[in-house]
Amino acid sequence: MLTDKQKELVESFGVIQEQMGLSPASARVNSLLTIVDSSELSFDEIKDALNLSKSATSNAINYLLSLNRIGYKTKPGERKRYFYSKLDQWKVSFKKDFLGLYNYTAMIDEIIKNRSNENQDFNNELKDLNEFMNYFISESINLIDNWKKK
């Protein structure tokens, strides 16, 4: 199912995704579904390709489904589910991530409001950071929205 090189890539891309917050098993599953040539894999194919237990496979799959990073389809007359990478969701999730940064800037605004004017240099640093953040968030969202408009 995988070439030797692809097996290596599943691991190394897996590590990168671990660093991005996925658990080892979820990272491997997502990595596998990105790398494998087949357009979708069954539960057991995933389990066997990664040498995972059923519980680890089940939990990893359900976690990735909850994040909307993978999806599944069924085939007529079969009960099995076939999982695939929802890579095309990247715009949606990037956008969500950037919007989430507004929590950070709102927090900084609160902090600015509640600092004395004793140390104006630092107050100005906070304001500058926040101005940039707000600018950066809206620019990033523009970049996403204007990317190959479809």
Partner DNA sequence: TTTTTAGTTCTGCAAGTGGAGAACTAAAAA
Partner DNA sequence: TTTTTAGTTCTCCACTTGCAGAACTAAAAA
Check the CA dihedral 59-64-70-74 and report its sign. positive
Please give the size of the binding site for a second copy, defined by CB under 8 A: 40
Question: Per CB under 7 A, does 31 bind DNA?
Answer: no
Cβ 27 vs Cβ 14: under 8 Å:
yes
Binding positions for a second copy, 66-85, rule CB under 8 A? 85
Give the residue, chosen from 19, 51, 114, 116, that forms a contact with DNA under the rule CB under 7 A.
51
Question: Per CB under 8 A, does 128 bind a second copy?
Answer: yes
Question: Per CB under 8 A, does 146 bind a second copy?
Answer: no
Q: How far is 2 from 76, CA to CA, in rounded Å?
A: 26
Q: How far is 54 from 41, CA to CA, in rounded Å?
A: 15
Among the listed ranges 36-44, 94-102, 106-114, 117-125, the one in contact with DNA (CB under 7 A) is: 36-44
The option from a second copy, DNA, none interacting with 114 (CB < 5 to 8 A, set by class) reads: a second copy
- Which residue has 């057991």 as its token pair? 44
C-beta closer to a second copy: residue 53 or 128: 128
C-beta closer to a second copy: residue 53 or 147: 147
Cβ 57 vs Cβ 23: under 8 Å:
no
Question: Per CB under 7 A, does 49 bind DNA?
Answer: no
Contacts of 93 (CB under 8 A, 6+ apart): 68, 69
